[in-house]
Amino acid sequence: MRDLRKLSEWQALQSHYHEIESLQMRDMFAQDKNRFDTFSASACGILLDYSKNRITSETFDLLLALARKIDITKEAKRMFAGERINATEDRSVLHTALRMPDSKSLLVDGEDVVKQVHAVARHAAQFVDKVRDGVWTGYTGKRIESVVNIGIGGSDLGPLMVCEALKPWQHEDLEFHFVSNVDGSHISEALAKINAETTLFIVASKTFTTQETLANAQTARQWFLDSGADNSAIAKHFVAVSTNEKAVSEFGIDTDNMFRFWDWVGGRYSLWSSIGLSIRLCIGNDNFDAMLHGAHEMDEHFVQTEYQHNLPVVLALLGVWYGNFFNARSYVIAPYDQYLHRFPAYLQQLDMESNGKSVQMDGSAVDYKTGAVLWGEPGTNGQHAFFQLIHQGTDLIPADFITAAKSQNPVGAHHKMLLANCIAQTEALMKGKTLSEVQAELRAGGSTNEETDALAPHKVFSGNRPTNTLLCEEITPRVLGALIALYEHKVFVQGKIWGLNSYDQWGVELGKQLAATVLQELNSGAPGAHDSSTSNLMSYCIDRFSKAT
Ligand code: G6Q
């Protein structure tokens, strides 16, 4: 067992924290005109400004020393080479192989996985071209107009987030729906908007055993048959993305229409694989390839770049700095880009499912905090809602602001207003507003001394609230690929520092089992032996079921 808190590098950070805890960023900026140059880095089209953090050069050196101690690059190379770093599932973790160019090769257990990846990608690309060009038609000969991706968790959040993020690249004759929730309202709302003759359903499930996805897929199939189509038409309208050929076939989908991937692709890391079929259909193969290319560039940056200029390493170290030393328990993602509105939800799964763990690789319990609660909404909306707490609440909540200099929809002055808000928020969070500044402002506005004394404390902003800004020229497929890979590797680095297996998800597996008994008893109308809360909740529902019929 590695005792993180006993490492000399960790203890040095702990003592240093007490020394710099009260330093104000506004003073550090005033004293060092080059602070931005010192604490910013660029790679793969992304500028990371991390100067508005509560760090000095010494802090940063100590954080880098921790990264060196953990030997992040060595660990990353083990992952990239296909070592079975997901020990609890005895699997390699090779989402990086999904974006390697076909000129490369990677032998894992004697197989060249890059060759396999590109063979499957070609299969998907051919299908995608046929659908987008109207060559693949529905059973009545009409071209496909609607695509419904049925999947949940990693088989939903990534594709949905990217299709939204890259909407300006969406095929103009195709519309997309994503159905994930087992709540019948989700599939019903989608089915109400589509025409069976012109719809393609993608059933996306790595295991093809996930209850919600199978229930939604069954409902979609029945709706399709009820619309007048017969079984032979299913092959034209239902395709699967899975690693489980047997279950796909049992469901009734022709395995010729199945797009494969591998158990070494984790669900939340799978958008680069066949799980990205809906993305390919949405933005086309060339744009999908550009996204892969951007991600691959970030992979290379991550393994080749020294730590102080390495974007994933820097972001990860800053997260550890606040989480473990300042005891920050949550972390905000604020994309100032409406198309990135699902990015926080996507990152929530990526980060919290990967590092929401409390045992180390060897099973020993950690005695330090691990993954933070991650949340967020696009700016400027967040400013009119939860930003109040970030500015004046009692918690320290670090935030990543993500934006682009160019808009996909340059309407009037909108984009400059968006950027002004984004930049001004980070400045305000850093500087705050002191009591004397507030008093001077109030007096200048004509307030009496009494009024000033009463109001001033409410208008004080402590400031010193850390932010990173991730700025790019434009959110293109390539930049988005790099941005996603950046966060994937940030999660990897933090997982390594905390000694976790970031690639299993036993909490999700539990959820997959838990409902079975309750469902059986709801069906039978007789709650079994449970605690009084569980029994009464079930009885309430059973009672209402009978009244409804
Ligand atoms: C992701 C998780 C989880 C998974 C879903 C769907 O890393 O494992 O979110 O993606 O539970 O699983 P299937 O793709 O197997 O249906």
Q: What is the pLDDT of residues 417-448, one digit of tens each?
A: 999 999 999 999 999 999 999 999 999 999 99
pLDDT tens across 501-525, in order? Answer: 999 999 988 887 888 889 999 999 9
Q: How far, in Å, CA of 538 to CA of 533, rounded?
A: 9
Quote the pLDDT of residue 454.
Answer: 98
What residue owns the CA closest to ligand 1's atom 10?
154
Nearest by Cα to 407 from 228, 177, 168: 168
When pLDDT is cut at 50, 70 and 90, the band that residue 177 belongs to is very high
Distance 243 CA to ligand 1 centre (A): 12
Query: Using the 8-state DSSP alphabet, how is residue 479 labeled?
Result: H
**Does the beta carbon of 508 lie inside 6 Å of ligand 1?**
yes
State the pairing for strand pair 238-242/199-204.
parallel
Residue % of the chain over a pLDDT of 90: 96
Distance 266 CA to ligand 1 centre (A): 8
* Site to substitute for ligand 1 among 155, 178, 501, 502, most atoms within 8 A of C-beta: 155
Q: How far, in Å, CA of 14 to CA of 471, rounded?
A: 31
Quote the pLDDT of residue 508.
Answer: 86
- The secondary element (H helix, E strand) that includes residue 401 is strand 399-404
Distance 152 CA to ligand 1 centre (A): 6
Please, which residues have CB within 8 angstroms of residue 3's CB and are 6 or more apart in sequence?
A: none
Q: What are phi and psi of 461, to 5 degrees?
A: -115, 120
Q: Which residue stretches of 411-474 are H helix?
A: 414-431, 435-444, 449-455
3-state secondary structure of 500: coil
Mean pLDDT, to the nearest integer, of 302-309?
A: 98
How many CB atoms are located within 10 Å of the residue 335 CB?
Answer: 27
Q: What are phi and psi of 138, to 5 degrees?
A: -75, 180
How many CB atoms are located within 10 Å of the residue 203 CB?
Answer: 26
**Does the beta carbon of 207 lie inside 6 Å of ligand 1?**
yes
**Does the beta carbon of 205 lie inside 6 Å of ligand 1?**
yes
**Does the beta carbon of 505 lie inside 6 Å of ligand 1?**
yes
Active site (catalytic) residues: 353, 384, 512
What residue owns the CA closest to ligand 1's atom 9?
153
**Does the beta carbon of 155 lie inside 6 Å of ligand 1?**
yes
Residue matched to tokens 């989480």: 323
Answer yes or no: are the C-beta atoms of 79 and 354 closer than 8 Å: no
Mean pLDDT, to the nearest integer, of 455-483?
A: 98
Q: How far, in Å, CA of 441 to CA of 436, rounded?
A: 8
What residue owns the CA closest to ligand 1's atom 1?
267
**Does the beta carbon of 266 lie inside 6 Å of ligand 1?**
yes
* Site to substitute for ligand 1 among 202, 206, 259, 513, most atoms within 8 A of C-beta: 206
Q: How far, in Å, CA of 201 to CA of 171, rounded?
A: 17
3-state secondary structure of 199: strand
Answer yes or no: are the C-beta atoms of 102 and 114 closer than 8 Å: yes
Please, which residues have CB within 8 angstroms of residue 468's CB and are 6 or more apart in sequence?
A: 48, 49, 50, 52, 53, 315, 318, 398, 399, 400, 401
Q: Which three-class secondary structure string do you get for 155-205? A: HCHHHHHHHHHCHHHCCCCCEEEEECCCCHHHHHHHHCCCCHHHEEEEEEC
Characterise 361 by phi-psi region: left (phi > 0), alpha (psi -120 to 50), beta (else).
alpha
Q: How far, in Å, CA of 76 to CA of 303, rounded?
A: 7
Residue 149 reports pLDDT greater than 80: yes
Determine the atom of ligand 1 nearest the C-alpha atom of 275: 14
Mean pLDDT, to the nearest integer, of 235-261?
A: 95
Quote the pLDDT of residue 98.
Answer: 98
Q: What is the largest CA-CA distance in the chain?
A: 83
Residue 549 reports pLDDT greater than 60: no
Q: How far, in Å, CA of 157 to CA of 163, rounded?
A: 10
Distance 254 CA to ligand 1 centre (A): 22
Answer yes or no: are the C-beta atoms of 430 and 467 closer than 8 Å: yes
What are the strands, taking DSSP E only, across 464-538?
467-472
Answer yes or no: are the C-beta atoms of 335 and 378 closer than 8 Å: yes
What residue owns the CA closest to ligand 1's atom 8?
267
pTM: 0.97
How many CB atoms are located within 10 Å of the residue 347 CB?
Answer: 25
**Does the beta carbon of 210 lie inside 6 Å of ligand 1?**
yes
When pLDDT is cut at 50, 70 and 90, the band that residue 548 belongs to is low
Reduced to 3 DSSP states, what percent helix, strand and coil does the chain have, rounded to the nearest 5?
55, 10, 30
Q: How far, in Å, CA of 90 to CA of 111, rounded?
A: 17
Determine the atom of ligand 1 nearest the C-alpha atom of 268: 7
